[in-house]
């Protein structure tokens, strides 16, 4: 058992930026931050909903009480491994039941999960472990045909500070999660203003940035999301996207479902083959997808082999949904559409369940909180006229004030008065709804997967035959965007295949490998001598 230690003075993890005291005081006074931690939240839900089903995954069905008890026993196990409050633990788990006990045990202990995605490979995981000085790394044995233990071997040899690899399943040379359960111990837990975990930023720079989220701010975003999405004990949420991502985790996602006392059903893969039988069997009421998956589901639903009639709401977010696709949701799937425009840094916008169709189909919603502040600025940093498109800046009770240990980057990504510069080009409708029109950041949004151009460029530049590289997005009818790498070769030009396998060997996640490679002799330049990605995009349109 862990109990909070209210006697401890609040002190934020070094490397994190606190909200200025006057804002924190306001967010508490307004009732947004209610002084609750994730460990307490689960305990309270277990007391209230003991026998209700919290989690369904494969053949496992855990009640709230069972999840709470398993969590306590794992807290003891992690503690016995020597994992302490504020230690970072990279968690890379697919959609399994263990995902919950692992993260709640770390939350309760006050250790900080770093939420990696199942698609990440050694390039990303080495970096997360090194940068956060992680003491442990939690993996499945195998998932989607990939053996994570071979990845862990690589990470272990590259990052000597990593003390433990914990495996869900067959552990091989590592520690098995199943051997960690121990008798509950009484430990001081974290306090609500503490950082609870790290999310990853989609990013636009060389390496992904880490996003520290506190118990206070994240639980507020859950409560707000649960209210807007009308979740309650009868909600059966299907988690088809990777649970570690902010959207299925908390918007309202699996954590919002547990907040509301509902049931979170985990699908290992989001394909209709796996998801539709689950919808029918578990009577799923609510789920979330990225646009390309929504299109696959809509096509598959035409066959009508499964009963999807329990589904009330399909949320679509993470990337722009076309109006045409938005219009097809109800006719094909028989449920309401909710558009979600959010970011791991904080701000989440929803269309409301009682909004008129025009708003649901043509906008990306409005913020959760009355205290989410929105500014839309032009290239000179001036507020645009109402309805004009510009870059969205935001500040509020669940939007971070800085990335972890990133002082120089923070100076660019946040204004001096604490607004986060989203890099999204947005306009506001007369009803106060946001419409995402484009992007000012150097990122590719490949069907919801975010790729920082500079990160891929740096990996390409490591190849001896590459003189220079520029990665851009190309429009794609299915994914919205794909990536194209423009490469200036040295004397001996490599082939496109050599370069993509080189990136794979460097351990880059598959979704970041360029879909297309073009060789050129020079790059077009902007007036100030930078590579003009706009001109490169135009070149491609003409090829």
Provide the binding-site residues for ligand OOB, judged by CB under 6 A.
202, 246-247, 251, 317-320, 339-344, 348, 364, 422, 424, 436, 439, 445, 450
The span from the first CA to the last CA of the chain, in angstroms, equals: 64
Mapped onto helix, strand or coil, the DSSP state of residue 308 is: coil
Separation of alpha carbons 128 and 402, rounded Å: 17
Q: How many CA atoms lie within 13 A of 194 on its CB side?
A: 26
Task: Tell me how crowded residue 519 is: count the other CB atoms within 10 A of its CB.
Answer: 15
Which residue number, 171 or 254, has a Cβ lying nearer to ligand OOB? 254
| Residues 237/248, Cβ–Cβ less than 8 Å | no
Kindly state the DSSP code that residue 526 receives in the 8-state scheme. Answer: -
Q: State the minimum distance, in angstroms, from the CB of residue 317 to ligand OOB.
A: 4
Q: State the minimum distance, in angstroms, from the CB of residue 529 to ligand OOB.
A: 27
Which residue number, 16 or 155, has a Cβ lying nearer to ligand OOB? 16
Q: How many CA atoms lie within 13 A of 379 on its CB side?
A: 3
Which residue number, 155 or 260, has a Cβ lying nearer to ligand OOB? 260
Which residue of this chain has its Cβ atom nearest to ligand OOB in the complex?
342
E strand map for 370-502: 373-377, 390-395, 420-428, 434-439, 443-446, 449-452, 466-476, 480-489
Q: State the minimum distance, in angstroms, from the CB of residue 415 to ligand OOB.
A: 16
Separation of alpha carbons 517 and 102, rounded Å: 40
Q: State the minimum distance, in angstroms, from the CB of residue 195 to ligand OOB.
A: 17
Which residue number, 56 or 436, has a Cβ lying nearer to ligand OOB? 436
Q: State the minimum distance, in angstroms, from the CB of residue 65 to ligand OOB.
A: 30
Which residue number, 250 or 500, has a Cβ lying nearer to ligand OOB? 250
Which residue number, 45 or 446, has a Cβ lying nearer to ligand OOB? 446
Which residue number, 53 or 349, has a Cβ lying nearer to ligand OOB? 349
Which residue number, 159 or 343, has a Cβ lying nearer to ligand OOB? 343
Which residue number, 64 or 286, has a Cβ lying nearer to ligand OOB? 286
Which residue number, 258 or 319, has a Cβ lying nearer to ligand OOB? 319
180-183 long-range contacts (CB < 8 A, ≥24 apart) are: 180/74, 180/77, 180/78, 180/80, 180/81, 181/70, 181/73, 181/74, 181/76, 181/77, 182/73, 182/76, 182/77, 182/80, 183/73, 183/76
Mapped onto helix, strand or coil, the DSSP state of residue 20 is: coil
Q: State the minimum distance, in angstroms, from the CB of residue 139 to ligand OOB.
A: 22
Residues paired with residue 337 on neighbouring β-strands, in sequence order: 314
Q: State the minimum distance, in angstroms, from the CB of residue 483 to ligand OOB.
A: 15
Q: State the minimum distance, in angstroms, from the CB of residue 363 to ligand OOB.
A: 10
Q: State the minimum distance, in angstroms, from the CB of residue 318 to ligand OOB.
A: 4
Separation of alpha carbons 335 and 305, rounded Å: 17
Separation of alpha carbons 359 and 19, rounded Å: 33
Which residue number, 298 or 343, has a Cβ lying nearer to ligand OOB? 343
The residue count for the chain: 543
Q: State the minimum distance, in angstroms, from the CB of residue 321 to ligand OOB.
A: 6
Name every residue whose Cβ is closer than 8 Å to that of residue 287 and which is 6 or more positions away in sequence.
Answer: 237, 238, 239, 240, 275, 279, 311, 313, 314, 315
Helices (H) and strands (E) in the chain, counts: 17, 29
Mapped onto helix, strand or coil, the DSSP state of residue 518 is: strand
Separation of alpha carbons 543 and 539, rounded Å: 6
Angle formed by the axes of helices 148-158 and 122-132, nearest 10°: 50
Task: Tell me how crowded residue 280 is: count the other CB atoms within 10 A of its CB.
Answer: 16
Q: State the minimum distance, in angstroms, from the CB of residue 174 to ligand OOB.
A: 29
């Amino acid at each position: 058992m862990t109990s909070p230690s209210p006697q401890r003075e609040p002190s934020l993890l070094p490397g994190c930026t606190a909200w200025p005291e006057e804002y924190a005081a306001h967010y508490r006074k307004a009732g947004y931050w209610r002084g609750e931690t994730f460990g307490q939240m689960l305990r309270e839900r277990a007391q209230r909903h003991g026998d209700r089903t919290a989690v369904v995954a494969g053949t496992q069905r855990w009640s709230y009480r069972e999840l709470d008890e398993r969590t306590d026993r794992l807290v003891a196990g992690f503690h016995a491994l020597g994992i302490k409050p504020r230690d970072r633990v990279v968690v890379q788990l697919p959609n399994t039941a263990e995902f919950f006990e692992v993260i709640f045990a770390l939350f309760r202990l006050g250790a900080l999960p770093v939420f990696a995605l199942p698609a990440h490979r050694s390039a990303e995981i080495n970096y997360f472990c090194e940068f956060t000085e992680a003491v442990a790394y939690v993996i499945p044995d195998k998932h989607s045909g990939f053996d994570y233990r071979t990845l862990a071997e690589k990470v272990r040899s590259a990052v000597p500070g990593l003390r433990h690899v914990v495996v869900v399943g067959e552990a091989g040379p590592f520690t098995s999660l199943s051997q960690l359960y121990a008798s509950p111990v009484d430990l001081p837990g974290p306090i609500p203003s503490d950082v609870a975990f790290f999310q990853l930023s989609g990013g636009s720079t060389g390496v992904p940035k880490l996003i520290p989220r506190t118990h206070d701010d994240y639980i507020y975003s859950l409560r707000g999301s649960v209210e807007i999405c009308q979740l309650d004990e009868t909600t059966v949420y299907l988690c088809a996207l990777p649970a570690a991502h902010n959207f299925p985790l908390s918007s309202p996602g699996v954590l919002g479902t547990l907040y509301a006392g509902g049931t979170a059903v985990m699908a290992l893969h989001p394909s209709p083959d796996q998801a539709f039988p689950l919808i029918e069997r578990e009577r799923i009421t609510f789920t979330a997808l990225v646009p390309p998956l929504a299109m696959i589901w809509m096509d598959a639903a035409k066959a009508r082999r499964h009963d999807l009639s329990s589904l009330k709401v399909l949320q679509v977010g993470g990337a722009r949904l076309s109006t045409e696709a938005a219009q097809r949701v109800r006719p094909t799937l028989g449920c309401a559409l909710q558009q979600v425009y959010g970011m791991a840094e904080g701000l989440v916008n929803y269309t409301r369940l009682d909004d008129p169709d025009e708003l649901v189909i043509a906008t990306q919603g409005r913020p959760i909180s009355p205290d989410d502040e929105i500014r839309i600025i032009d290239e000179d940093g001036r507020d645009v006229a109402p309805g004009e498109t510009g870059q969205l800046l935001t500040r509020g009770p669940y939007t971070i004030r800085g990335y972890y240990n990133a002082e120089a980057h923070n100076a660019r990504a946040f204004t001096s008065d604490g607004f986060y510069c989203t890099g999204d080009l947005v306009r506001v409708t007369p009803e106060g709804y946001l419409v995402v029109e484009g992007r000012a950041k150097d990122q590719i949004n490949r069907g919801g997967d975010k790729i920082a151009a500079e990160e891929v460029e740096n990996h390409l530049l490591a190849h001896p035959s590459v003189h220079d590289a520029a990665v851009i997005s190309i429009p794609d009818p299915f994914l919205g965007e794909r990536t194209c790498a423009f490469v200036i070769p040295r004397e001996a030009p490599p082939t496109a295949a050599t370069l993509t396998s080189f990136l794979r060997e460097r351990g880059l996640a598959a979704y970041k490998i360029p879909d297309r490679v073009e060789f050129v002799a020079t790059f077009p330049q902007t007036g100030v001598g930078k590579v003009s990605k706009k001109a490169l995009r135009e070149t491609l349109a003409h090829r």
